[in-house]
Amino acid sequence: MTVASRDTLRSGGLRVLQIVAVAALYYASGRLGLLQQFMRGQVTPLWPPTVIALAGLLLMGLRVWPGIALGALLIDLPLGPSTPAVLAITAGNTLAPLCSYALLRGTGFRTRMNRFQDALALVFLGAFAGMLISATVGSGSLSLAHAQPAGGFWLTWWVWWTGDAMGVLLVTPLLLALRSARRPKDAPPSRWAEGSLLVAATIGVGLLQTSPAPLLFLGFPLLTWAAFRFQRAGATPCALAVSTFAILAATHKAGPFAGHTTLTGMIALQAYNGAAALTALLLSTAITERNQAQEKIQEASRRLAEMVARTAPDTGPPTLPDTQGDGEGNGDHRWG
């Protein structure tokens, strides 16, 4: 076997492994997402498989799309009302992240997300625009298969679309941040203490969110704190945590979701999740971009100072003007 053949075989084996890994992660995250369903199986307020699909495409490229299709098919088979409906829903769930990926690539999206335009692209193109496909195809398939009540198309569509979009907004930035995460060097103990305090406060606020008191708003000071002090590495997990607690409260109709219809509860929940995701993502990205600009300014100032120091002539210590007419400075004379 030639070297070229071995390289081809190795690359083919790696591709198959990536496809299988994406399919397995898609299926596992789908089973997890079904635990917080509001209505028929495929419709949940936060759909994690969409995140796996889009993140896989962004990190590994188009070659993993068969894994997305396979994972979607495995999830939809036991849930779908009929074989045509299952195939249509699978196609929609596969095309939606592919569309989001194409839109993001067209705008020059960077997975580091260190620019404000990257955050805007993920929000409006990756989440809001791309997920229209899965919501429309999925809801339409359920309606054509008579798998939902008459007149229930728009409620199903709304929950489907916002569930996919919230998955992209809340989890995709976290996965991309984890990919580039590094242990901070020379971080003082106070920094670790602050991070631990933020985690404890997030858990405490989350427990309050699931209590009978309507205290969802307490999550936003935490998001602001996390964004300013820890940027995306702190803001994205904080946003996912407070949104998860809100989903638990809505699922059990506790706190501000008690006594409301399913539609009202879903609108309130997704409005909160969207506000939390946008606050964390846009604020942390803007602060990161500002910090990078400050670092560039400081670096340019340092280089300019070094350049001036190298080019400036060495004139020695300054002397007083010669007032005695002897050709020498009067630095050693007194004024007469």
CA dist list (Å): 255 to 1, 240, 249, 250: 66, 19, 6, 8
Answer for the pair 226, 235: CB distance below 8 angstroms, yes or no. yes
Q: What integer pLDDT is reported at residue 335 of this predicted model? A: 40
**CA torsion, points 97, 98, 102, 103, in degrees to nearest 10?**
-30
Q: What integer pLDDT is reported at residue 103 of this predicted model? A: 95
CA dist list (Å): 320 to 71, 315, 325, 335: 85, 14, 13, 12
**Per-residue pLDDT for the chain (336 aa), expressed as one digit of tens each?**
565 566 666 677 788 898 999 999 999 988 887 776 655 444 577 888 998 999 999 999 899 999 999 999 999 888 777 888 899 999 999 999 999 999 999 999 988 888 889 989 999 999 999 999 999 998 898 888 887 777 778 888 888 898 899 889 888 888 888 877 677 677 788 888 988 999 999 888 888 877 777 777 888 999 999 999 888 888 989 998 988 888 888 877 877 788 777 778 778 888 888 899 899 989 988 898 888 888 889 888 888 888 888 886 655 555 555 555 555 544 444 443
Answer for the pair 57, 102: CB distance below 8 angstroms, yes or no. no
Q: What integer pLDDT is reported at residue 334 of this predicted model? A: 40
Answer for the pair 198, 172: CB distance below 8 angstroms, yes or no. no
CA dist list (Å): 218 to 222, 251, 256, 282, 320: 7, 19, 13, 19, 68
Residues listed for the chain? 336
Q: What integer pLDDT is reported at residue 309 of this predicted model? A: 85
